[in-house]
Homo-oligomer: A and B are copies of this chain.
Amino acid sequence: MSAPGAPLFPPAEFAARCARAQAMMAAEGLSALLLTREPEVRYYSGFLTRFWESPTRPWFLVLPATGAPVAVIPAIGASLMGRTWVADIRSWDAPDYGDDGIGLLAATLRELTPAGGRIGVARHLESHLRMPLEGFERLAEALGDRRITGDGAITATLRQVKSPREIARIEAIVAIAGRAFDRLPEIAAEGVPLSTVFRRFQALCLEEGADWVPYLAGAAGPGGYDDVISPATDAPLARGDVLMLDTGAVRDGYFCDFDRNVAVGPPSPAVAAAHARLIEAVAAGLEAARPGARFCDLHAAMEAVVRLGPGSGRLGHGLGMELTEGPSIIPADRTVLVPGMVLTLEPSVRVEGGRLMVHEEDIVIEPGGARFLTRPAGPELQVI
């Protein structure tokens, strides 16, 4: 029995991540990394809590040029952080309207970095700074001759390649959501409101072992759907609808992200053909997803099947501690695939009448090629 909140990975896993980052920091001339977002903090510390849902408190982790990270966090989290491998934990009673941790953070950074040191923060696409802008500017002032600069995308780059332990966690949540999808006929049928399907599907994910279900999107419509990010309405499923559910469920802090389409009653020939083409596109993506290929190659392989044309959007992305991570499967992304990357293949296709259909599977890159983490859907659309 593990202690409440004890990290799922041994300290060696986190120490190795830090060592890799520190080697890259040395090459970039960085004296420290300042981490402010949930996945960044968790990546180096193992600190796992749903409390990030509250925007009130900032949380800081500092990774110095050598040694273990130092946590500068609200007192409410000190007990939980104390169960990670992080030994140096400095806390304050937040919220503090006079100084909400900035003084403590500045003192910590001054202590851990040399005069003239450069401190890296994430500045790149898909990142943001999770702290008040005013506090960030006060921090920069309080640092004196230390300078805050970009982090060289070090953490984002490291996070692209998952460790075997991380892959096992992603496989676990993929299997859980897969079992929930297997049970879709239990909860979805003609006449059931889409909003009810959404609620019941989340309950199925929980029943099958998800810790929580941060993301569920979907749609239903005759011959396809209009968009894939809308909340569910109370409209009942009707014969002829295609129902799509796309879930990001979480177990132990790792996400799955895949979808399934089902037909309410026999699908039209156009819908059946569209689904078969999506499956064909995924197969083309999987085939292209070999070490040494680039993300743009995966895009080209799938686009050759679905023929969306300009504005095709991204046809997949990285996956792990977040629902979506870089790199993106878009024509402009020339990142080279390496073993350990986990990504989604997510082609969409236009159906007659301006509607669309989307399909998504999760894969891992291995030395000999890509392997499905999901049990992939077949070309024939399931009918409920």
Contact = CB atoms under 8 A, between A and B. Distances in A.
Number of copies: 2
Nearest to A199: B206
Contacts of A50: 214-217, 229, 231
A233 B234 CA distance: 36
A93 B133 contact: no
Interface in A1-60: 1-5, 37, 48-51, 53-56
Given A80-B230, A127-B133, 12 more contacts: A4-B226, A55-B127, A55-B324, A56-B125, A56-B328, A77-B229, A93-B311, A95-B125, A95-B314, A95-B330, A128-B128, A199-B210
Q: With a 10 A CB-CB cut-off, give which of A37, A56, A213 has the most chain B CB atoms.
A: A56
A313 B75 contact: yes
A80 B96 CA distance: 38
A1 B235 contact: yes
B233 A211 contact: no
A357 to B, nearest CB: 15
Interface of A: 1-5, 37, 48-51, 53-56, 75-77, 79-80, 93, 95-98, 100, 121-135, 150, 195, 198-200, 202-203, 206-207, 209-217, 219, 226-235, 248, 311, 313-314, 317, 322-326, 328, 330, 332-333
Contact of A211 (B56, B199, B215): B199
B212 A202 contact: yes
17 contacts: A4-B231, A4-B235, A5-B227, A49-B217, A50-B216, A53-B248, A56-B126, A79-B227, A95-B125, A97-B330, A124-B132, A127-B133, A128-B133, A199-B210, A202-B203, A202-B212, A213-B213
Contacts of A228: 76
A215 B199 CA distance: 16
A361 B317 CA distance: 41
Nearest to A96: B332
Contacts of A123: 132-134
Given A203-B203, A226-B79, A233 B2 contact: yes
Given A128-B132, A132-B124, A328 B229 contact: no
